[in-house]
Structure 1
Amino acid sequence: MVEGTAKPRLVSDPTQVDAAWLTDVLRHAGVLDGGAVTDVRSQRIGTGQMGQNYAFSLTYDRAAPQAPATIVGKFPSPEPKSRQAARMFRTYEREVGFYRELAHTVDIRVPKCYLADIDLESGDFVLLFEDLRPAVQGDQIAGCTIEESVLAMEQLAALHAPRWGDPSLAEIAWLNQSDGDDATGMLRTVYQGLWPAFVAQFGGSLTSGQLEIGEALGVYMKEWRNSFTPPYTITHGDYRIDNMLFGTPEGGYPLTTVDWQTIGHGAGIHDAAYFIGNGPRVPDRRAHEMDLLRRYYDCLLARGVSGYTWERCVDEYKRATLSGVLMTVVASQVVASDQRGVAMFAAMAERHFAHAADHKAGEILRGL
């Protein structure tokens, strides 16, 4: 940010974004020197469940070589249910915190951020990013290819390795808000409270054995969460292809990861298991999952991680298959969903519960 320029006011309603405000934002970000934005056109984009995304096309009063022709803005959800969930889990605070404090300390490719601001009392926030088009968003329902999955594992190691075992992460309050027995107890209560509604909505597509795993997770939530021990790192928390932009023949970075609302501090294997269990379709996952896990592991070591054995990685991976079960049950019931959202959660339920069952997660829980 440019010293001597006033911090832009917080605009959390995309319909209130105008040329004067964007001029202030881009000057403060150091990408607009002297000129001004004279016109703004907006378009709703993306499929976010917890927020709304807009692309803004900008016109300037003079040539501005460093200033973007388009930018992307992220704003609070207009849906009361989603906004309440965001406040409950402090997801907006986490994402703003990531771009302010942590994005520059890791190697995973993320969008350049021009502005990250939040009012913690109201929950209003705004994020403004570079426009990554012609890169395209992944499709959670369709699933991804194995080649895309390999890219995801390589980028995941680029997130985890730089801060692997870093004790200073434990001092960041907003990053550790889900730690401790109190948080685990609350999570267990929330999960068990939502479980009947989840079963009523999606249980018909699951086997009795898979449903038993879901019930057992509620019972053994504390033991399961406590079974993952340091070293910890920065975790994405919702590492799936809807939150990724892939390059196309027309351009774009090979893979850029977005939506950092569930960032946390914990065992990195949760992200790896979550993606592998939900990215490829079930037959592809079964055929390639150990190769994908090994790619993640090898990339960790190549980036300097030491003292983490392959045997431990595999053991934690089997337990971490339950991360997807947990996310699917909770998110499907607390986030307002349109028709696509329901289809997305149905696909997540099918894949994550099959993943956990394939690795005998119910037996693992009862043995903790």
Structure 2
Amino acid sequence: MGTKAVGGLACGPEDVDAAWFTAALRGSGTLAEAEVVDYDAEPIGTGQVGHNVRFTLRYDREEDGAPPTVVAKFPSPDETSRATGVAIGTYDKEARFYESLAGAVEIRLPRCHLVQHDEEAHLATLLFDDLAPAEQGDQIRGCSTAQAEVVVEELAALHAPMWDDPRLDDIGWLARPQPENGEAIQGFYGALWPGFCERYGDRLSDEARRLGERFGHGLATWSRRRVDGPHTVVHGDFRLDNLLFGVDGSRPVVTTVDWQTVAIGIGTDDLAYFLGAGLLPEDRRTHERQLVRRYHDLLVGRGVEGYDWERCWEDYCWFSLSGFQMAVVASMIVRADERGDAMFLAMAERHACQAFDLGADEVLPA
């Protein structure tokens, strides 16, 4: 189903024109004299709640710095996914992140030329630099240890700048863990778990199924640890599909996209979520502790105090269950497709394996 413009918001590629691109690029200081006169559009990416389109631009004249291509991120054209994004505030969060928070963290981000945000409709459209030929990570295939090392550096660059920062209390739009949320989260998971089991059937291992059943009875207690802190800005969905791998000179770099789940939380939650499904189990078992140690060393090097290695590792092990929770919940509230099903199944199996390896299942009811 096609999208429909809301007020002045461009909700899909059919809502933009050459003048729209010219205004956006002039507003960001990218264009001075040139005007966009024509363009081609090509859908890209694997987003579940957003719809990414690459536009190849043609100008009326040459101008230094005029981008040949840009990427627009529109709300999902799928009614279920779009309604989910509106209901849980994902479009609002990403718009506000780029409007007011991106400058406070040091993680590598794409340049954002335009944020169109309709706060009443809770929808947003953003226009970014095109990072091609950088390649999107693949959550199903996994990544190499070398790639994971670069990603860990980026996570520290996200978490350290606002680690236990009093300014977090002033960011009212960022969700913060609350003690009373645990029962609601457990209830929501419990309502979705039967549908998850039905969808994946025999493809879901007995081990993952048993973990999921136990998790459904202990999620409220488990999640309360998020309330304790230390708190910082977290991505909330830090996985390979939201990472673009490229090079800067001879150095590999990674750029993080999709800030629709940004929140206040615990940094190792992002880390366990990434390593648990981003690395294949054998690679994770071999390199996991070294990578978590590297993360901790980077935090300390960036000025984080009062968070010792033992606490870091303990938090990491505890939050290895986060990815299993996300696999169950997210798979049931967005549009189902073949790749999405394969991705969520891979996440569930790998995070179950991670939780068993690290003993996180021991905190759950038998």
Q: Flag whether TM exceeds 0.5 (same fold).
A: yes
Q: Which residue of 1 aligns with 2:88?
A: 89
Q: Does residue 231 of structure 2 align to residue 232 of structure 1?
A: yes
Q: Which residue of 1 aligns with 2:265?
A: 266
Q: Does residue 32 of structure 2 align to residue 33 of structure 1?
A: yes
Q: Which residue of 1 aligns with 2:155?
A: 156
Q: Does residue 280 of structure 2 align to residue 281 of structure 1?
A: yes
1:310-346 per-residue CA deviation (whole Å, 9 max, x = no partner) reads 1001111111001101100001111112211111111
What 5-or-longer segments of structure 1 have no aligned partner? 1-7
1:253-301 per-residue CA deviation (whole Å, 9 max, x = no partner) reads 6111111111110111100000110101111111111111111111111
- Which amino acid is 1:354 matched to? C
Query: In structure 2, the residue corresponding to 1:180 is in which secondary structure?
Result: coil
TM-score scaled to structure 1, two decimals?
0.92
Q: Which residue of 1 aligns with 2:217?
A: 219
1:50-97 per-residue CA deviation (whole Å, 9 max, x = no partner) reads 111001111111222132221100011111111121122211111111
Query: In structure 1, the residue corresponding to 2:173 is in which secondary structure?
Result: helix
Greater than 6 Å deviation, 4+ residue runs? 249-253
- Which amino acid is 2:57 matched to? L
Q: Please identify, of 238-247 and 357-366, the stretch whose mean Cα deviation from structure 2 is larger.
A: 357-366
| Percentage of identical aligned residues | 46
Distance (Å, rounded) in 2 between the aligned partners of 1:47 and 1:121 = 27
Q: How does 1:1-368 map to 2 (within 5 A)?
A: 9-176=8-175, 179-202=177-200, 204-228=202-226, 229-247=228-246, 254-366=253-365
Query: In structure 2, the residue corresponding to 1:175 is in which secondary structure?
Result: coil
Compute the displacement of 1:156 (Å): 0.3
What 5-or-longer segments of structure 2 have no aligned partner? 1-6
Compute the displacement of 1:181 (Å): 4.1
Asked whether the equivalents of residues 118 and 125 of structure 1 are also in contact (C-alpha less than 8 Å), the reply is: yes
Asked whether the equivalents of residues 179 and 224 of structure 2 are also in contact (C-alpha less than 8 Å), the reply is: no
Distance (Å, rounded) in 2 between the aligned partners of 1:24 and 1:232 = 38
Query: In structure 2, the residue corresponding to 1:255 is in which secondary structure?
Result: strand
Distance (Å, rounded) in 2 between the aligned partners of 1:291 and 1:247 = 24
Asked whether the equivalents of residues 213 and 361 of structure 1 are also in contact (C-alpha less than 8 Å), the reply is: no
Distance (Å, rounded) in 1 between the aligned partners of 2:292 and 2:57 = 43
Query: In structure 2, the residue corresponding to 1:321 is in which secondary structure?
Result: helix
Distance (Å, rounded) in 2 between the aligned partners of 1:348 and 1:41 = 35
Query: In structure 1, the residue corresponding to 2:56 is in which secondary structure?
Result: strand
* CA-based RMSD: 2.0
Asked whether the equivalents of residues 182 and 224 of structure 2 are also in contact (C-alpha less than 8 Å), the reply is: no
Query: In structure 2, the residue corresponding to 1:30 is in which secondary structure?
Result: coil
Compute the displacement of 1:182 (Å): 4.7
Q: Please identify, of 46-55 and 11-20, the stretch whose mean Cα deviation from structure 2 is larger.
A: 11-20
Give aligned pairs, total: 359
1:75-126 per-residue CA deviation (whole Å, 9 max, x = no partner) reads 1111111112112221111111111111111111010000112212323310
Compute the displacement of 1:361 (Å): 2.0
Compute the displacement of 1:222 (Å): 2.6
Query: In structure 1, the residue corresponding to 2:190 is in which secondary structure?
Result: helix
Asked whether the equivalents of residues 203 and 211 of structure 1 are also in contact (C-alpha less than 8 Å), the reply is: no
Q: Please identify, of 178-187 and 240-249, the stretch whose mean Cα deviation from structure 2 is larger.
A: 178-187
- Which amino acid is 1:356 matched to? A
Compute the displacement of 1:49 (Å): 1.0
- Which amino acid is 2:225 matched to? S
- Which amino acid is 1:274 matched to? Y
Q: Which residue of 2 aligns with 1:3?
A: none
Distance (Å, rounded) in 2 between the aligned partners of 1:47 and 1:207 = 26
Compute the displacement of 1:209 (Å): 4.1
Distance (Å, rounded) in 1 between the aligned partners of 2:71 and 2:251 = 15
Distance (Å, rounded) in 2 between the aligned partners of 1:223 and 1:29 = 46
- Which amino acid is 2:182 matched to? T
Compute the displacement of 1:306 (Å): 1.2
Asked whether the equivalents of residues 86 and 123 of structure 2 are also in contact (C-alpha less than 8 Å), the reply is: no
Q: Please identify, of 341-350 and 116-125, the stretch whose mean Cα deviation from structure 2 is larger.
A: 116-125
